[in-house]
Chain A
Amino acid sequence: MSIAPTAGAAMRRRLPASLLVGGTITAAVVAVAAVSLVWTPHDPTAIVIADRLAPPSATHWLGTDHFGRDVASMMMAGAVNSIAVALVAVAIGIAVGVPLGLAAAARPGWLDQTILRFNDVVFAFPALLLAVMITAFAGPGAVNAIVAIGIFNIPVFAKLIRATALGQWTRDYVLAARLAGKGPVLISAEHVLPNILNPLVVQATIQFSLAILAEAGLSYVGLGSQPPAPSWGRMLADAQTMIAIAPRLAIVPGVAIIVTVLGLNLLGDGLADLLDPKLRRPR
């Protein structure tokens, strides 16, 4: 109220800092992944036993692994795999889980109960077991890993959305919308979902990092993306036995996962702030 108009105008155009930092990191990761599609310093799958466990140098920027593969090239190519798996898995979770959660909140009673019991059933099976089951049907591979992780994500989002949406349904503005003759679908889309975007975005970034880790776990037991296709998760799993000899092999993919997740978290936070009209202007 008491802020001078010039200061207000200047601040209104300023984007949230978290959005800028998160956006930059995410853009950088995506750019690296994109570049790897057309160019990598070396062939990420080429095995040169003579060069095994070479330290970082001008030719091998991040050194080589125990098979003599170039780590930098594997990281770049692995980015495509890991990000694609995680993104699609989270997208499956959101695409199915969010409507289920909204429906459960909008129609308490048998629909709500059915969705909740379905959630419980899916929760009862660990992602790994689910992957084993899917592999038994369809054989191992990245796509099946995506499906397994995606199915595991559905109840996570469904439960979160149901719980937060239930709170929205008690609000007077939802009552006002009902008085305006709007049905549950329209109210869910117009009033409920926009007001619970913040927890959804935060949960999505958390699930994204978990999906990268889950993909790593599935690849480790041979159920995820198959060698020689590189993935950050499998690099991390492979490095486990080398941790005493060449800790670099674990650190590089580990840091990459952390930075990517951090970038996405910040991006999610920033987006949430940007979408909130209350924070759009300085107070």
Chain B
Amino acid sequence: MALLEVDNLAVTIGATAVLNGVSFGLERGGVLGIVGESGAGKTMTALSIMRLLPAAAAATGRIAFAGEDLTALAEPAMCDRRGRMLAMIFQEPMSALDPLKTIGRQVAETVFAHHRGNRREALALAREVLDRVGLPADRFPLGLYPHELSGGQRQRVVIAMAVVLRPQLIIADEPTSALDVTAQARILDLLRRLLVDHGASLILISHDLAVVAALADRVAIMKDGAIVETGATAHLFDNLRHPYSRTLFAAASSRHRQRPAARAGDATPILTVRGIVRDYRPSRFLFRPARHVRAVDHVGLTIHRGESVGLVGESGSGKSTLARVVLALDRPLQGEVFLDGVDFLASRGRRLRDLRRHVQAVFQDPYGSFDPRRKVANLVAEPCHLEVPRPSAAERRRRVAAALAAVGLSEADGDKYPHEFSGGQRQRLAIARALITNPSLIVLDEAVSALDASIRAQILALLADLNERLNLSYLFISHDLATVRAVTDRVAVMQDGRIVEEGATERVFAHPRHPYTAALLAATPDLDRVLAVRRGEARLAPSG
């Protein structure tokens, strides 16, 4: 008998249908992957099973877990099931842990809540589980607080909380999306091992097809609150029928080399960065005295006209700090930045403003990069402030219309407020804002990381088109190696504030010279590679 049987689940919030006729089953020990873009209903499905839907939501349908209908249970009975039989792992390890409680207490909390032993026993159990998730006692005592751990370590604590009572079903909602690739690879390994050890079943929710394909034996693809396609992993991906699944698959697979071979000839350097050093003085960590952290350590970089240069590395490697220096938002301790051959850092006042016109930026968060109180036309025109003399109102209007048209939006959109646009549209607006001063270089700081795969593909196509038409150069900063590989000519790999490897993108990805680059590449989930492995497994041991 199946462990979990969801039958015709429907959820409405007010008049909006969030889930519509969702049905699936999960065997004991099985792993079901749920993929789909944001708003597809993945998280709502998970919350329905846990009976943790927001108060305004109304659910119908049947959710049978181990032969018992969860929808019919009273709340106290459901509380007893949660944590003991079903557990959940959330995306953001920052907010899933209480910053005021030690990790030991938080893991022990689940044990207390189910009256499984006194304080000592609960803490002993917490210790044992933390050991099992790779946080050994000598380096990670129970008395540590969440802020003393890295993102990956925090996620291990969250996993420990979920598995401490050995639940039969674990629901992991984007468990690795907030983590770096190497941390992600280790967390996925851990999940895989725990499943084998505990014989638990897993529902793995992710927008990343490669992550799901690596772990799940069955996959369900969701769109607009319904499952459009489902099947055994390798078989499903090889025989996609629904057009939406095909788009999703195409966006995730074989993203190598969408870019035409680097155009020869133009070798005018737009940006030359030499010997940049930037320190930060962080707040005190534990009992150690405050010390300087070298965020960027003697970094040099050159970008030529029309060239797209990638900058990859994990969080904390100094990518964004370097970007801030290039944008003259931050002054480095040492080093020089030349923009179009002019010393950017030594420039002041009017000269600096004039230089700033040549380099603009697009940031990661499409929701945070626009002042919610101002109209779009106003915001897009903001960089016009750099020009002396200031362009007239009519001139600004004309240029805003042209910039909006260039990114595929209409002039009428200028009269709207930012919240009236979707994430992808906002990123188009951000590009329009960057284009308004006719810059020669645009710094894209994780500009497509927050977007869904299909939207990301559109924005990347737009960027490629602009690069071709306007001979724009890009500094493309990302932790997503697959995307960087697809859109850049050259790539620089950063680790601990240094550039450890630099070269033509294809060369670096195909034949990495530095061990760190090789490690990053190995940790990056690659759908094609994963599927090849899964197909092999499927041939060896055909599953039911």
Contacts and interface: CB of A to CB of B under 8 A. Distances in A.
Interface of A: 2, 171-173, 175-182, 186, 190-191, 194-195, 275-278
Interface in B43-84: none
A181 B363 contact: no
A276 B371 CA distance: 11
Given A180-B385, A195-B373, A278 B419 contact: yes
B327 A179 contact: yes
A277 B382 contact: no
A191 B356 contact: no
A278 B327 contact: no
B496 interface: no
B327 A191 contact: no
9 contacts: A2-B15, A2-B16, A173-B379, A175-B369, A178-B329, A180-B384, A186-B385, A195-B371, A277-B419
Contacts of A277: 372-373, 417, 419
Interface in B358-389: 360-361, 363-365, 368-374, 379, 382-386
Given A181-B353, A278-B372, A176 B363 contact: yes
B371 A173 contact: yes
Nearest to B365: A172
Interface string B11-22: 000011000000
Given A172-B364, A176-B379, A191-B371, 14 more contacts: A172-B363, A173-B370, A175-B369, A176-B370, A176-B382, A179-B327, A179-B361, A179-B383, A180-B382, A181-B352, A181-B356, A276-B373, A277-B373, A277-B417
Contact of B363 (A175, A177, A194): A175
Contact of B368 (A171, A180, A191): A171
Nearest to B327: A179
Contact of A182 (B327, B373, B385, B433): B385
Contacts of A181: 352-353, 356, 383, 385-386
B329 A175 contact: yes
Nearest to A182: B385
> What are the nearest 7 A-B pairs in CB distance?
A172-B369, A180-B383, A181-B386, A277-B417, A180-B382, A173-B371, A194-B373
Contacts of B361: 175-176, 179
B329 A179 contact: yes
A160 to B, nearest CB: 19
Instruction: Pick from B352, B374, B430 the residue with the most CB of A within 10 Å.
Output: B374
Contacts of B372: 195, 276-278
Contacts of B382: 176-177, 180, 182
Contacts of A195: 371-373
B56 to A, nearest CB: 13
Nearest to A192: B371
A48 B383 CA distance: 71
A122 to B, nearest CB: 28
A176 to B, nearest CB: 6
Contacts of A278: 372, 417, 419
Contacts of A182: 382, 385
Given A277-B419, A278-B419, A179 B371 contact: no
Nearest to B362: A176
Interface in B388-446: 417, 419, 430, 433
A176 B353 CA distance: 14
Instruction: Pick from B15, B369, B382 the residue with the most CB of A within 10 Å.
Output: B382
Nearest to B417: A277
Nearest to B416: A277
A195 B360 CA distance: 24
Contact of A172 (B360, B368, B385, B419): B368
A180 B383 CA distance: 4
A2 B373 CA distance: 24
Contacts of B360: 179
Contacts of A2: 15-16
Contacts of B373: 191, 194-195, 275-277
B356 A179 contact: yes
Nearest to A275: B373
A178 B361 CA distance: 11
A168 B365 CA distance: 15
Contacts of B368: 171-173
Interface string B472-484: 0000000000000
A272 to B, nearest CB: 12
A179 to B, nearest CB: 6
A182 B390 CA distance: 13
Nearest to A197: B373
